[in-house]
C-alpha cells in the first residue's frame, strides 16, 4: 500500500490516481500510523517552503520521514516535498533561511532565470545507474517551481537547466525525490512512478 501524505490543501487527487496506475492500493492520509507503516510514502508539496514545513509539522511529517528512514522504509518527495528534504530554504526569508527536515545538507534557493516560475516541460540528464529514470531517460517532465537545490546530494542525481543547472531528482537509499511532478508528466511520469513503486 502507498500512502500520500495529506498536510494541506491542493491537488492530491491526481497524485492518488497516478500512483494507483502502478498497481498498488493508494490512500491519501494525514494519519501518523498509516503514513509510518505504508510500503511507500509520498510527500507532495504545497505552497512555499516555510508554509510547507508548517503544514508538514502539523501532522508530525518531519518525524514520520525520519522514522521511516531509520526503519528503512521508502519515501518519495515531490516538488516542494523534495525541497523540504534539504536542511535550508531561502524562499520568502528576509534574514536566516528556513529550516527543512534536513535529510540532505544543502540549501534550496531561487533559480537565476529571467522568467520565473520555471513552468513547463523540460528534459533531464540522469545518471545511468538511476532506477527512477529507467526507460524514460530521454523524456520531458513537468516542472513548476522558482527555487531549487543546485549541489549534488545522495547517491544518484538527475539534473535539469533553467537559467542555471539544478537538481531535478535525487535517489539516496530509502529516500528519493523529484523536483518535477511525475503525476503531471503524462506517460513518462507514470512510467517513472511505476519504477519507484516496483522498487519498493
Contact 192, 185 (CB under 8 A): yes
Other Cβ atoms within 10 Å of 89 Cβ, number: 25
Catalytic residue among 118, 145, 162, 181: 181
- List 143's β-bridge partners, or say none: 120
| Residue ranges that bind another protein, judged by CB under 8 A | 9-14, 17-18, 46-48, 51, 114-125, 136, 138-140, 142-146, 159-162, 181, 183-191
CB nearer to another protein: give 40 or 189.
189
> Of 79, 98, 118, 145, which is the active-site residue?
79
Cα separation, 167 vs 182, whole angstroms: 15
**Cα dihedral sign, 26-30-34-40:** positive
Q: Could you confirm whether 98 is annotated as catalytic? A: no
For the CB of residue 158, give the shortest distance to another protein in the complex, in Å. Answer: 10
Helix (H) or strand (E) holding 15: helix 13-20
Query: Is residue 183 among the annotated active site residues?
Result: yes
Q: What values do phi and psi take at 80, rounded to 5? A: -65, -25
Cell representation of residue 9: 490543501
Closer residue to another protein (CB): 75 or 160: 160
Cis ω before 117 (30° cut-off from 0) = yes
Nearer to another protein, 124 or 153 (CB): 124
CB of 78 to another protein, least distance (A): 13
Q: How far is the CB of 157 from another protein (least distance, A)?
A: 13
Quote the least distance from Cβ 34 to another protein, whole Å.
20
Tell me whether residue 28 or residue 69 sits nearer to another protein (CB atom).
28
Catalytic residues: 79, 181, 183
Amino acid at each position: 500500500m502507498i500512502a500520500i501524505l495529506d498536510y494541506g490543501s491542493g491537488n492530491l487527487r491526481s497524485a492518488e490516481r497516478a500512483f494507483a496506475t502502478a498497481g498498488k492500493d493508494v490512500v491519501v492520509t494525514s494519519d501518523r500510523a498509516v503514513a509510518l507503516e505504508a510500503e511507500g510514502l509520498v510527500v507532495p508539496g504545497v505552497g512555499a517552503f516555510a508554509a510547507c514545513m508548517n503544514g508538514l509539522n502539523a501532522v508530525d511529517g518531519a518525524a514520520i520521514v525520519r522514522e521511516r528512514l531509520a526503519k528503512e522504509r521508502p519515501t518519495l518527495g515531490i516538488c516542494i516535498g523534495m525541497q523540504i528534504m534539504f536542511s535550508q530554504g531561502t524562499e520568502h526569508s528576509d534574514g536566516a533561511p528556513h529550516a527543512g527536515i534536513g535529510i540532505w545538507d544543502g540549501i534550496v534557493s531561487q533559480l537565476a532565470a529571467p522568467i520565473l516560475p520555471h513552468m513547463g516541460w523540460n528534459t533531464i540528464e540522469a545518471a545511468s545507474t538511476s532506477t527512477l529514470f529507467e526507460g524514460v531517460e530521454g523524456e520531458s517532465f513537468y516542472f513548476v517551481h522558482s527555487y531549487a537545490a543546485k549541489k549534488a546530494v545522495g547517491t544518484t542525481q538527475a539534473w535539469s537547466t533553467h537559467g542555471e543547472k539544478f537538481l531535478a531528482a535525487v535517489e539516496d537509499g530509502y529516500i528519493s525525490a523529484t523536483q518535477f511532478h511525475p503525476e503531471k508528466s503524462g506517460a513518462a511520469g507514470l512510467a517513472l512512478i511505476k519504477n519507484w513503486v516496483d522498487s519498493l
